Structure 1
Amino acid sequence: MEPMLFKTHGKREILDITDSIQKRLSSRAAGSGICFLNVLHTTAALTTADLDPGTDLDMLDAFEAMVPHLHYRHPHNPEHVPDHILSALIGTAVTIPCSQGQLVLGTWQRIILVELDGPRTRQVVCNFLPLPD
């Protein structure tokens, strides 16, 4: 279970990782099953989204507006507490059904890594659980 590595380039960023996940899945799975994805960080998240032009920026603006500006008490670095909160709210795991080795996604649905405290190199674990046909 070698983690996949994704480099981000900004403080906050949305990165489409669908094609990379599909490529990893195609090399390991031929039948039907479930793809489990987990980002191994507390200041990043995974979800699915429609990525029409500008939607990524709309999402980042909405995420920013969700977290209040408070006096945070995190001993390590209070400035990135909102990043931890957003990671917990968005979630760090996604489960996607697969059919014949292909991710089953909606027409516009993409798997996205949400960077909340970059730039960094993020690790995503991809596991596949085969199901009987």
Structure 2
Amino acid sequence: MKKLYVRTPEEGLVNITRAVEGILEGHTGLVYLFVPHTTCGLTVQEGADPDVAHDLLARLAELAPRFHPEDRHAEGNTHAHLKSLLTGVFLLLPAERGRLLLGRWQQVFLAEYDGPREREVWVRLL
């Protein structure tokens, strides 16, 4: 297993596509990505238009507002846990000759909901 270390903002989508491809070493097969954290996630989304990330984060904020009167979690980051639940913490992607096989507009993102932090992305080549 290999690890990527990603510095993140307070909240946002961090494009990790090239970083993942940088450790594929010509691999053809599947690439399993996992984040061992409970307040961030992984997603495949459009990477060309930054308004997509803005809009997605805005809609997630509506679904899971930062402060909710019924939240009881002492750290006050229940919103980040819920967003991570919605996004998911793993991806399984195809690769060929060291490149991820993605659609024309697709990129791989680490979705940060409780930063800034240094996050780990675990990478297993299958």
Check whether TM > 0.5.
Answer: yes
Instruction: After the TM superposition, list the runs of 4 or more consecutive aligned residues in structure 1 that deviate by more than 6 angstroms.
Output: none
SS in 2 for 1:54: helix
Q: For 1:118, what is the secondary structure of its paired residue?
A: coil
1:81 matched to 2:78:
yes
Gaps of 5+ in 1: none
Match of 1:47 in 2: 43
Aligned positions of 1:1-16 closer than 5 A: 1-9=1-9, 11-16=10-15
Aligned 8 A contact 2:29 2:94 in 1 = yes
For this pair of structures, how many residues does the alignment match?
A: 123
| Aligned counterpart in structure 1 of residue 93 of structure 2, from 87, 92, 96 | 96
The root-mean-square deviation of aligned C-alpha atoms, in Å, is 1.3
Asked if the contact 2:42/2:108 (under 8 Å) is kept, the reply is yes
Query: 1:16: how far off?
Result: 0.4
* TM-score, normalised relative to structure 2: 0.91
1:58 corresponds to: 55
How far off is 1:82 after superposition?
A: 1.0
2:93 counterpart letter in structure 1: I
Aligned-partner SS, 1:37: strand
2:2–2:124 contact (8 Å) kept in structure 1: no
**Structure 1: which amino acid aligns with 2:85?**
A
Unpaired runs of at least 5, structure 2: none
1:100 is displaced (CA, Å) by 2.3
Distance 2:6 2:62 in 1: 26
2:37 aligned with 1:38, yes or no? no
TM-score normalised per structure 1: 0.86
